[in-house]
Chain A
Amino acid sequence: MAKYAMVVDLNRCQGCRACTEACKIENNTGQSMFWMHVFRFEDGEFPDTRMSFLPRPCQHCDNAPCVKVCPTGARFKREDGLVLTDPDRCIGCRYCELACPYGVNYFNWQTPEASQYSDVIDWDDPDIQSATGGLSPPYRNPDLDEEWGPEGRRTAGGNHDKGVMEKCTFCVQRVEQGNLPACVDTCPVTALRFGDISDADSPVSQFIRENETWHLLEEAGTEPSVFYVGGKPPSHSYKEVERPKARV
């Protein structure tokens, strides 16, 4: 049985946010939902400041607090390590969001249509239609309507319904078809790696062996599946500069 993990190489990440964009397009997430988010930190006092970037996907924890607290089992962990959300069972209590130490959960506050900027963009405008081919959003990933995994749930992608939770899925729809998650695939400098760590000979396992790795918020006991190489864990003396203008 595969066990998936991601490795983030902070020596390479230069904060281009291509991963954030790729994730959005692949998963059709709504306004202000950033399943993949790249922090830009600044620490130290001027003029001795240092800047750093930290990509933060969902950590797909082995001891996931979000799974433990979900009252209905809509948030669940699979044997291959992926922590997924079933939007057809989710009742929108947002307990998973409160339990997550990393802040990776997003709740659909709006209807799916409003979430795709239908209040500011008139998708029916003929000029816009000629560019989008009548689709809203312009590229709507057909994989998001399918059921995935042995459990057969509609876990891929976001923006399914108002009032339900969503978060990074390690692109379950791509992984199950033998591809890499969108962010990993897109990163221009190979700062993101992904693979099966139960296979000792996989590239990602070798990379982990050859480098010193650490986890985000190790002390929280969540046993995340995302490894970090280079850089160091962000302390509270770090300041987040450049927050996305992301409040709906």
Chain B
Amino acid sequence: MATQTNTQTSLLPQGVGRLTTTWKLAMAGSFLLFAVGVFAFVRELSTGMIETGMRNVGTMGGASWGLYITMVVYFIGVSFAGITIAALIRLFNLRHLRPIARFAELLTVVALILGALAIIVDLGQPLRGVVNLFRYARPQSPFFGTFSLVIAGYLVASLIYLYLGGRRDAAIMAHYPSRLQRFHRWWAAGYRDTPEERDRHRQTSFWLAVTIIPLLVIAHSTLGFVFGLQVGRPGWYGTLQAPAFVALAGVSGIGAIIIVGAVVRRIVHDKSRIDLDVFAALGKFLLAFLLVYLYFMSVELLTLLYATPEVEKQLSDALLLGEYAWIYWGSVALLVIPGLGLLWQAFKRRWNVGWLVAFGIAVNLAAIGKRYLIVVPSQTHGTLLPYEVGSYSPSWVEYGVVLGLLGLGALMIGTFVKVFPPIPLREDEEVMVDA
């Protein structure tokens, strides 16, 4: 029996435990990125944030929030879709979407961790920040919601969701001896797949879904409030920020799920579980969120073009015609073109995974661009007092840290898919073992 262990590990479903060369290369590359990030962050910690490209607003003519906060908002936005999809699947019993539930939840967990880390690297006193937030955080500050509901509440809820949803598969995997057997046994926690247990799981899934959805709408709205309540920042202050945040979060999140779904399909060498119908559904979700967001963007653009208060004129000129115009119109293009492409696919009822992945990448790039445009121009071109305009460009340290975060995310996802099946096992799917 013992000599058969390796053979049996290699027969676990979906490539779990099987470390292919491609996987090793990908992990090595991700680790390299992560190392770059650590190096950059250590530099920032020791010398101070002067190593970044950020500078004070006003007399220093800089932007005090830059690439880091852009990525905070982006990551938290991506996390929105994962758990929403998973929750909707349970609530409305969308059985054909079940295969994507687990890695959608995984994406949420990873994105939230990266979002939390991105906040920490942006603090001038990171260690003190972690302690003082738990000690003194004030609900009057819009930041309170981000810290407590988003990072703490939402992350915990998603982890619990992920854990409970995986118990059945863990129990199946735990039957067979492999290096991961103890881990699978721990995860399964004695699951026996009796009707009663399945019933319990159905109930907890339902209630978790019901409570998570309002939690994350509130959480994303408070993130929008961080910007939307600042009367002193033209371009930020506005009632549309909170809903627009939620809409763009949906766009980037579903785009990310499409990308991860395509990658997972490749890893498990099985295109039948996440078939074209699943991608079609994702495509339709993406189209829906995209249309809502494009509607918000059009309203904002038309309002700006029709009448701009004097204080916002400088800002809107920079956005539409000036130095930020390439990011603005580039992001618009990266949203509109996928939107048209999705409409085409929807009309023709002919969905294509390759194009969907391309659209997913495009809308995520657009989301990063739009988040950047929310954060930075209001600082360089949006001072209420007539300071000279400022400028900001990220330094190598900022790029390095962001790459490090992305590398860490890849490492987390890559590790997960090799210790646990990313796609829920079929009812009849068992591990194949020599008799």
- Which residues of A line the B interface, CB within 8 A? 32-34, 37, 39, 41, 56, 65, 68-74, 89-95, 97-111, 114, 161-165, 216-217, 220-222, 234-236, 238-240, 243-244, 246-248
B133 to chain A, nearest CB (A): 6
Q: Among A70, A90, A107, A246, find the residue whose CB has the most chain B CB atoms closer than 10 A.
A: A107
Could you give 12 example pairs across A and B, Cβ below 8 Å? A41-B386, A68-B141, A69-B230, A71-B141, A89-B132, A92-B123, A105-B56, A161-B125, A162-B48, A162-B124, A238-B386, A240-B388
Picked from B135, B138, B384, the residue with its CB within 8 Å of the CB of A220 is B384
Q: Are B59 and A34 in contact (CB under 8 A)?
A: yes
Q: Can you name 8 extra interface pairs (CB under 8 A) apart from A98-B230, A247-B62? A: A93-B143, A99-B233, A111-B47, A220-B231, A236-B310, A244-B59, A246-B59, A247-B60
Complex CA gap A217/B386 in Å reads: 11
What residues of chain B lie closer than 8 Å to A92, measured between beta carbons?
49, 123-125, 129
Q: Which listed residue (A33, A94, A98, A246) contacts B124, Cβ 8 A?
A: A94
* Docked-complex contact A56 and B385, CB < 8 angstroms: yes
- Closest chain-B Cβ to A29's Cβ sits at a distance in Å of 12
In the assembled complex, the Cα of A97 lies from the Cα of B379 at a distance in Å of 10
Known: A103-B58, A240-B386. A110 touches B143 (CB 8 A): no
CB atoms of A163 and B48 under 8 A apart: yes
Contact between B124 and A93 (Cβ–Cβ < 8 Å)? yes
**Does B59 lie within 8 Å of A91, measured CB to CB?**
no
A101 to B233, CA, bound (A): 7
Structural contact, B147 and A71, CB atoms closer than 8 A = yes
Neighbouring A residues of B229 by C-beta, 8 Å: 69
User: How far in angstroms is the closest Cβ of chain A from B49?
Assistant: 5
Task: Please tell me if the beta carbons of A98 and B129 are within 8 angstroms of each other in the complex.
Answer: no
A97 cross-chain contacts in B, Cβ below 8 A: 56-57, 64
**Cβ–Cβ contact A73 & B47, under 8 A:** no
In the assembled complex, the Cα of A198 lies from the Cα of B375 at a distance in Å of 40
CB < 8 Å neighbour of A93 from B48, B123, B311: B123
| A-contact bits for B102-124, CB 8 A (1 contact / 0 none) | 00000000000000000000111
Chain B residues within 8 Å of A105, by CB: 56-57
Partner of A98, one of B310, B313, B379: B379
Among candidates A93, A94, A248, residue contacting B60 with C-beta atoms closer than 8 Å: A248
A71 adjacent to B233 (CB under 8 Å): no
Residues in B whose Cβ lies below 8 Å from that of A108: 48, 124
A164 CA / B132 CA spacing, docked (Å) = 13
Q: Is the CB of A107 within 8 A of B56?
A: yes
Confirm or deny: B140 has a beta carbon within 8 angstroms of a beta carbon on chain A: yes
B238 at the A interface (CB under 8 A): no
| Shortest Cβ distance from B128 into A: residue | A91
With a cutoff of 8 Å between Cβ atoms, the chain B residues found around residue A234 in the complex are 385-386
CB <8 Å contact, B57 and A91: no
Cα A39 to Cα B386 with chains together (Å): 9
Q: Check A95–B384 contact: CB distance below 8 A.
A: no
Q: Roughly how many angstroms separate A101 CA and B229 CA in the complex, as a whole number?
A: 12
Interchain CB contact under 8 A, B124 and A102: no
Min distance, Cβ B322 to any Cβ of chain A, angstroms: 15
CA separation between A99 and B55, bound complex, in Å? 15
Contacts of B394 in A (CB 8 A): none
